[in-house]
Structure 1
Amino acid sequence: MSSTRIAVRAGALTAALAAFLCTTATAVSVASAESPSARPAAVQADVPAGVTAGVAVFDRQTGTFTEQLNTATQFRSASVVKLLIALDVLWNRSPDALPAADRGRIDTMLRGSDDTAASTFWSNNGSGAIVDRMVTRLGLTDTARPPSTHPGYWGYTALSARDTVKIYRHLLDSAPAATRDYILGDLRQSTRCATDGYDQHFGIAGSFNRPWAVKQGWSGFSSGGCTAPTATTAKAAGAAESAGEPAGTDARTPAGADAVDLSRPALHTTGVVGAGDRSIVAVFTLHPGGTPYGKAYTDIGRLTRSLDVPGASRPAGTWVGTWGSGVRVRTQATTTSGAITTLPAGVEVLVGCQKRGQQVSQPPYVNDWWAQLPQYGGYMTNIYLSVPENQVPGVPVC
């Protein structure tokens, strides 16, 4: 530890920040990421405290599920319903036959989770009738159009983990090759920053190396914390992802066994993983009211990493918690280098290695160590890592 850091710890550390570091120290996963061969044969989903989850992992090679938890539970779909919207547009139509404008809308809807594109298709193609058609076509059992109280809110479509597996199985095994390749091609090009300014590379995208293809969903958060030169301006604070879905809504479907929670923050990760798209993964989660996006992002990441996903390759590194908001990931270990993006506040990141770079001051801290983040292709200053030293214990030097 540097003499500067010793002086800081001895006198200048505020009580509030000391309490924060004390509580977040347990969130620092200082154990290296597991190699696939080290994982036990049977792994049960590790659901973080306070989180409600529906999970299904289907191994296409063996035709069996390796994970099943609350698979029939209905969740509001948020943007996962965009899979059904796209399939409906392409039903009995080749992607090449679509007008250029519609192809552009599907591309931005699936890659950047664009809401305006989804709303255009929703309005033009019958709204809830889209869901009704796809339920019949795919034999879905837990999927339903938005409640009658919110007919225009496509993000309120009810969806389950097992029905999501059916959707991907249709896409992979039954859909025309042109449709399969087109939709999966877009999902493989999922952008880190969605068009509404949310970082959408959580869950599957953050837990496994490529190849993967993902369609994510989020709803009920105030800030996604992701900015990049290509990202559009985020919606106003408090806006939900799905068009027409008011922030902070307490709306629910009528009470009953099949009631869908429309109030708690939702974060979902779905897609295919591994060579030959071996595994289909669907993870739906609800979080306590007021949960920050970075906390939910971290929790769904931990849950997804706990799953038995055949064919998945896991990135090497050490998971470490962060603090602060607006923390930038840069191309080099300097504050003058280009900013790649910003991190969701308080999110956990994978650190590959660390090296000395420009000295950064964030009173009461001073630090010249920088962490290399392989999933972002850049560096962040170690000042914003939730560790008690200038360096992260156990992480190699670059």
Structure 2
Amino acid sequence: MRKLSGIFLVGLCVGAIGAVAVTIGHGAVQAPQAIAVTPVVTTMSESASPSPEPTPTPTPTPTPKETPKSEPPAVDAAELDRLVGSGEVSAVVFDRQLGKTTVSLHADRGYTSASLVKLLIALAVLERGGPVADVQRMLSRSDDDLASRFWSAYGGPAIVTGWAKRIGLTGTRAPADPGRWGDTRITAKDVVKIYQYVLAHGPAAIMAALRAATERGSDGFRQYFGIPDAAGGRAWAVKQGWSCCRPTRMLHTSGVVGDYIVVVLSEHPASVDYATASKRVTAVVSALLG
């Protein structure tokens, strides 16, 4: 601070002393500010001036907190088994953001694929430059006639064995009867791997067709059971499968719901009709998604 001058009057022992007002600014929490000093001189001929008010320091804007990612609820394996009654069920949920499986129930149990093998048929046909529109119709409407035509023209059982090796499917087997593509053997864990491959490397036409799945397949069967009925407004892309009765009834739902790959495979006694089995599979998916 600089010195202040004293002013003395004759006969009086009165000294006028300059007052110094010091204003200190408050720094933000993260980075303290330098102290600012403002000198003020007062004489007898001046009236006292108020000290200057501190300059307000802006309040730091809070850093917004990230909203925690919602995850599917914890699932009781016994409860999922109970939901299919006398049938069998396998379920796998894979979180694409976390890169890990969050639900795995009987993931290695084998089932007859029904129409889920059409995912492999689509990969085989499109890789060799086959008709995109027909492949998409085969997937979105689950068209069996197109699947049979492609199966014969693009390698039959070799489609399954070749793509199983390429993707790393450990529980997938070509059908014993080479003419029956729907009898291909699959597991829930392998179906998740197929989706991972399609999402990362497959032609975009495949996922576009799964997002456009129609409510009824080409045979009139209602294929919105499972994921579509349980998604609750969330965006989905699905490939469904159904078959009967050699000797049991198969009903599968698979696809992508938001950030999750969801696969539910189920097998029911032939005495359980499709309507009942469909409701049971939807209940399983509802339990998985919450």
Alignment partners' CA distance in 2, 1:152 and 1:68: 32
Please tell me the residue identity of whatever aligns with 1:210: R
Please list, as runs of the form range in 1=range in 2, the aligned pairs for 1:326-365 lying within 5 A after superposition.
none
Q: In the alignment, is residue 127 of structure 1 matched against residue 156 of structure 2? A: yes
User: Where in structure 2 are the equivalents of 1:52-131 lying within 5 Å?
Assistant: 52-91=88-127, 93=128, 97-98=129-130, 102-131=131-160
Aligned residue number for residue 285 of structure 1? 266
- Pair 1:42–1:114, CA change in 2 (3 A): same
Unaligned runs of 5+ in 1: 1-36, 221-247, 250-262, 315-398
Deviations 1:64-113 (A, max 9, x none): 1111011011100000000000011122x5xxx54xxx223212110100
Distance 1:38 1:160, change over 3 A: closer
Q: What do residues 255-287 of structure 1 show as CA deviations (whole Å, max 9, x unaligned)?
A: xxxxxxxx210000000011xxx1001100001
Cα offset, 1:290, TM superposition: 1.7
One-letter amino acid of the counterpart of residue 55, structure 1: A
Following superposition of structure 1 onto structure 2, how do residues 12-23 of structure 1 map, counting pairs within 5 Å? none
1:169-213 deviations in Å (ceiling 9; x for gaps): 1111233xxx0x210000000000100010000000110023110
Distance change in 2, residues 1:192/1:62 (3 Å): same
Q: 1:214 aligns with which of 238, 244, 251?
A: 238
TM-score when normalising by structure 2:
0.71
Query: How far did 1:40 drift?
Result: 7.7
TM-score (norm 1): 0.52
Instruction: Please name the residue that 2:75 is paired with.
Output: 43
Residues in 1 aligned to 2:72 and 2:167: alpha-carbon distance in whole angstroms:
34
Q: Deviations over 1:317-355 (max 9, x none)?
A: xxxxxxxxxxxxxxxxxxxxxxxxxxxxxxxxxxxxxxx
2:287 maps to amino acid: S
Spell out the pairing of 1:1-398 with structure 2 (5 A cutoff): 41-45=73-77, 46-47=80-81, 48=83, 49-91=85-127, 93=128, 97-98=129-130, 102-147=131-176, 150-175=177-202, 179=203, 181-208=204-231, 209-220=233-244, 248-249=245-246, 263-274=247-258, 278-307=259-288, 309=289
Q: Say if 1:125 and 1:295 are closer, same or farther in 2 by CA, change over 3 A.
A: same
Instruction: Tell me by how many angstroms 1:289 deviates.
Output: 2.1
Secondary structure of the corresponding residue to residue 215 of structure 1: strand
Q: Which amino acid aligns with 2:74?
A: A
> 1:9-28: per-residue Cα shift (whole Å, max 9, x none)?
xxxxxxxxxxxxxxxxxxxx
Change (3 A) 1:38 1:51: farther
Asked if structure 2 preserves the Cα contact closer than 8 Å seen for 1:108 and 1:114, the reply is yes
Tell me, which stretches of 5 or more residues in structure 2 are unaligned? Answer: 1-68
Any conservation in 2 of the 1:287–1:296 contact (CA below 8 Å)? Answer: yes
Query: In the aligned structure 2, how far is the partner of 1:104 from the partner of 1:113?
Result: 13
202-211 vs 264-273, which moves further: 202-211
Which amino acid in structure 2 is aligned with residue 44 of structure 1? D
Distance 1:305 1:128, change over 3 A: same
The question of whether the paired residues in 2 share the 8 Å contact of 1:44 and 1:67 is answered with: no
- Aligned residue for 1:306, secondary structure, equals helix
Q: CA RMSD in A?
A: 1.8
CA distance in 2, matches of 1:172, 1:217: 20
Residues 38, 165 of structure 1: alpha-carbon distance in 2 compared, 3 angstrom cutoff: closer
The CA deviation string for residues 134-180 of structure 1, in whole angstroms up to 9 with x for no partner, is 01110110001001xx22110000000000010001111233xxx0x
Runs (4+) of structure 1 moved beyond 3 Å? Answer: 37-41
Is the 2:195–2:255 Cα contact (8 Å) retained in structure 1?
A: yes
Distance 1:124 1:207 in 2: 36
